[in-house]
Structure 1
Amino acid sequence: MTRPAYDLDIRTDPRRLRTALAGAARTPYWLEDPGRPAPEPALVGAVDTDLLIVGGGYCGLWTALQAKEQDPTRDVVLVEAAEIGWAASGRNGGFVEASLTHGPANGRRYFADDLDVLDTLAAENFSGFRDSLTRHGIDAEYEQEGALSVATEPHQVDELRAQPGFLGADELPVRSPLYRAGVFHKSGNALVHPAKLAWGLKAAVKALGVRVFEHTPVKRLTERRGTVQAATGMGTVRCRQAVLATNGFPSLLRRNRLLTLPVYDYVLMTEPLTAAQLDEIGWHGRFGISDTSRQFHYYRKTADNRILWGGYDAVYHRGRGIRPEFDQRPETFNRLADHFLRTFPQLHDIRFTHTWGGMIDMSTQLAAFQGVAMNGKVAYAGGFTGLGVAATRFAATVMLDLLAGADTPRTHLKMATKRPMPIPPEPLTYPAVQVIRRAISASDRNAGRDGLILKTASLMGFSFDS
């Protein structure tokens, strides 16, 4: 059997990997930007407001922005447990995708009746994302130059051939000995500096009058006398309505705690490439790249021509663990560096300057969901599964529609009216995830064909398609 392009084995000389990773900073590259704003003070005492937003990532920030745009007189308070942009919103790859369903196959499986509406709404949201940045003067290094999907296995070539924009191996705009074919997507894809996006949204909502409190974790949410009350570490917030934008962190709604799984994704950042190095691989455009395996890699260039390289290993830590020490995983960094050097052997002397990881919220349908609780006073969203840069903006719109009791195309969508299948609790979760990971690796080795485990899991409602 021919070995796949990527697998769990390390094929690069370990000494080469140690040299490539030596001295790498253990912090997200994006968060080192000198434009990082100072945090806002924590909330102390009692506060009343019309709308409370819990969570200061993209989802919460987009909700705050649109809430004030819809009604400038509405009083809005946003609280963040740590600092704006410290979690997934400041650690991701910065890929802005129009898709709301995590790919055509997944969309057909879970949202078949909604696909036409979703396509229209996704295009509107993608356009609205760009327009919002322009309207509020947010410099997030937005670049819209398409995206390249590449096949690294023979069976993937046939899967891509039927798509518009198909390119043979010798037609691809980037050179790698692993590339067999590709598809260039001209629309519906963009790139941003993820932390600058979060910080820009923070500045925009503050300018609109949103009261932002950082280092303010919410401990408890209760409904009393027609209002919602949130207890924080040093105070309370009483509000008419609330939005929960905590994503992969444990939900304040007990009934939602099994709807998402915190999974860690890991990333490498190279040193800036020289013009000669870029010539070696032929990567001169400003587009992102991903391969089409289930365990896929995503990569892109930064403004100073570094390459961000991430993906493949999606790691679940036992007990739904979310801890700072999980941001580092040398085993995965070695594997990612090995895969990078397999992909671009022309860059044999490259060094990586940053290694980091972060938690994403995975749902069984691999796409976000929204809903309401507490007699329609609390809206929530979650399960973005790595597709949150643009989809969080859409989720914010849906949640505001739901809180308003509005009858819109968004409020009729399955993702807004039906929750995904829950993920079993421990002690079942950890061994089940490991079995599924091994089955996915076996599928990639077996020309993409599913074995009994993946077929059974799929019949039970767990999605592994994109």
Structure 2
Amino acid sequence: MPRAPLDGDAEADVAIVGGGLTGLWTAWYLLERDPALRIVVLEREIAGFGASGRNGGWASALFPRSTASLERAHGREAALAMRRAMVATVDEVGRASTAAGIDCDFAKGGTVVYARDGVQLRAARAEVEEAAGFGVDALELWGAERVHAAGALGAVFDPACARLHPAKLVRGLARALESRGVRIAERTRVRDWSPGLVETDRGRVRAESIVIALEGYGAALPRLHRRILPLYSLMIATEPLAPEVWDEIGLRHGQTFSDFRHLLIYGQRTADDRLAFGGRGARYHWGSDIRPDYDRVPRVFERLRRTLGELFPAIGDAAVTHRWGGPLGVARDWHAHASWDAVTRIASAGGYVGDGLSTTNLAGRTLADLMTGTDSELVRLPWVGHRSPSWEPEPLRFLGANAGLLAMRAADAEERATGRPSLAARVMGPLTGH
């Protein structure tokens, strides 16, 4: 059952627009700094309705922009500080979840990224070498004898990732916040905001500080319409698999997986022994349109099931029991941000490009420090105060976003056909945070 909506005008110390992980983690860490704060969270649907509750369950150290890209934009020390913060955040998600009494199936088993042809193996080696040069990530290059995916020549193992159940995390966090006095008003649509005031369809909230935490759904509001692009990512989950099947697949509990293709895929072994598997491929919709029927695209679900069977033939004809999807938020320069305006007292964070399960936690801690005037290493990270350029108006936005998806498909086909790194991918790299 949804929580009660706002029932008229209200007052708070902090009003948070958006009941996903960014807003909820911000509330959690604000209360750690000042338990007396009166906080109200305003959510159009239910807490965790969006990407926070629907994602692939990777609590990883991934950031939308690569370390090399951050170094070019902000300098080496800033890039390394961002990497260290992201790696540390994986453990913080586990620590904070335990502290909040949340059982979200957290298990830190790392990520296995398969290299399934010669081009991918060269990319794997280059990634490990680059990480060694920065000296933060402890990546390992595994040989073919250690991996079980079909055709895999090796893999990169990244220990800085945990498997969890995202819906359990976000719903548990909402309950934990309510037990600490936070008011969560669901089925409450925010129309606009200004310093000290949030206007909704059910009343006004006057607040000393405001946090905007809408991610991809921000595109539905006029003032954020071109600040963020909603890109759909879809997922499937199989029925529970037998122990002997898991022996053939070779994934332990707590491990997540992907490979080095350009059209992104991602998966995990769930706590109840299913394969949960997702990927890109659903198109961007004209005008940044967001509708429930876009969450389910049969051809994408079919492609995901086919791809999963190609990766792990041992699953045979295992049934797909769950299918779902939704939009994530993409900034024009693939650069997430965490910002605070001390004059207007409005904070915001987002632009995670699908790497938000951990990054939202870092955002919550960072915004809490910024809003309370706490001097910390977090407030000096290079994403603090970053402002991405706006997306182009239509039809350029529609053409560009969908051309990008086509380019990634073409890049994978090009590499399979030529056995060489894709020229299309090289052209797209600077546009996708690499």
TM-score (norm 1): 0.84
Tell me the residue number matched to 1:157.
121
Inter-partner Cα distance in structure 1 for 2:266 and 2:109: 16
Is the contact made by 1:140 and 1:196 (CA closer than 8 Å) also made in structure 2? Answer: yes
Matched residues, percent identical? 31
How far did 1:284 drift? 4.1
Change (3 A) 1:464 1:73: closer
How far did 1:256 drift? 4.1
How far did 1:246 drift? 0.7
Aligned partner letter, 2:105: E
Q: Which blocks of at least 5 consecutive residues in structure 1 are unaligned? A: 1-37
Task: Name the one with the larger helix percent.
Answer: 2
How far did 1:453 drift? 8.8
How far did 1:391 drift? 0.4
How far did 1:464 drift? 5.0
Is 1:282 the counterpart of 2:250? The answer is yes
Pick which of 420-429 and 403-412 moved more.
403-412
Inter-partner Cα distance in structure 2 for 1:323 and 1:140: 28
Tell me the residue number matched to 1:463.
432
Aligned pair partner of 2:370 in 384, 402, 421: 402
Change (3 A) 1:65 1:427: same
- Match of 1:67, SS state, is helix
Inter-partner Cα distance in structure 1 for 2:46 and 2:383: 29
Pick which of 393-402 and 366-375 moved more.
366-375
Q: Which blocks of at least 5 consecutive residues in structure 2 are unaligned? A: 129-138
How far did 1:252 drift? 8.8
Tell me the residue number matched to 2:234.
266
Inter-partner Cα distance in structure 1 for 2:162 and 2:340: 31
How far did 1:279 drift? 2.9
Is 1:72 the counterpart of 2:35? The answer is yes
Inter-partner Cα distance in structure 2 for 1:99 and 1:238: 36
Change (3 A) 1:314 1:88: same
Tell me the residue number matched to 1:316.
284
Change (3 A) 1:180 1:396: same
Is the contact made by 1:106 and 1:366 (CA closer than 8 Å) also made in structure 2? Answer: no
- Match of 2:349, SS state, is strand
Pick which of 260-269 and 307-316 moved more.
307-316
Inter-partner Cα distance in structure 1 for 2:248 and 2:84: 40
Change (3 A) 1:244 1:263: same
Tell me the residue number matched to 1:168.
143
Aligned pair partner of 1:306 in 274, 277, 295: 274
Q: CA RMSD for the aligned pairs?
A: 2.2
How far did 1:209 drift? 1.1
- Match of 2:261, SS state, is coil
Tell me the residue number matched to 2:101.
137
Is 1:196 the counterpart of 2:168? The answer is yes
- Match of 1:248, SS state, is helix
Inter-partner Cα distance in structure 1 for 2:229 and 2:338: 16
Pick which of 109-118 and 260-269 moved more.
109-118
Inter-partner Cα distance in structure 1 for 2:65 and 2:272: 29
- Match of 1:265, SS state, is strand
Tell me the residue number matched to 2:179.
207
- Match of 2:384, SS state, is helix
Aligned partner letter, 2:108: Q
Tell me the residue number matched to 2:358.
390
How far did 1:370 drift? 2.0
How far did 1:450 drift? 4.8
- Match of 1:299, SS state, is strand
Tell me the residue number matched to 1:184.
157
Inter-partner Cα distance in structure 2 for 1:323 and 1:454: 33
Inter-partner Cα distance in structure 2 for 1:47 and 1:388: 30
Tell me the residue number matched to 1:435.
403
Inter-partner Cα distance in structure 2 for 1:103 and 1:229: 37
Q: Deviations over 1:196-250 (max 9, x none)?
A: 1011101111111111111111112123xxxx11111121100101000111113
Is the contact made by 1:106 and 1:463 (CA closer than 8 Å) also made in structure 2? Answer: no
Aligned partner letter, 1:116: L
How far did 1:55 drift? 0.6
Q: Deviations over 1:362-404 (max 9, x none)?
A: 1233341122358331111110111111100111222233333
Change (3 A) 1:100 1:307: same
Pick which of 280-289 and 249-258 moved more.
249-258
How far did 1:307 drift? 0.5
- Match of 1:262, SS state, is strand
- Match of 2:411, SS state, is helix
Tell me the residue number matched to 1:121.
85
Is the contact made by 2:11 and 2:205 (CA closer than 8 Å) also made in structure 1? Answer: yes
How far did 1:344 drift? 1.9
Is the contact made by 2:16 and 2:39 (CA closer than 8 Å) also made in structure 1? Answer: yes
How far did 1:407 drift? 4.4
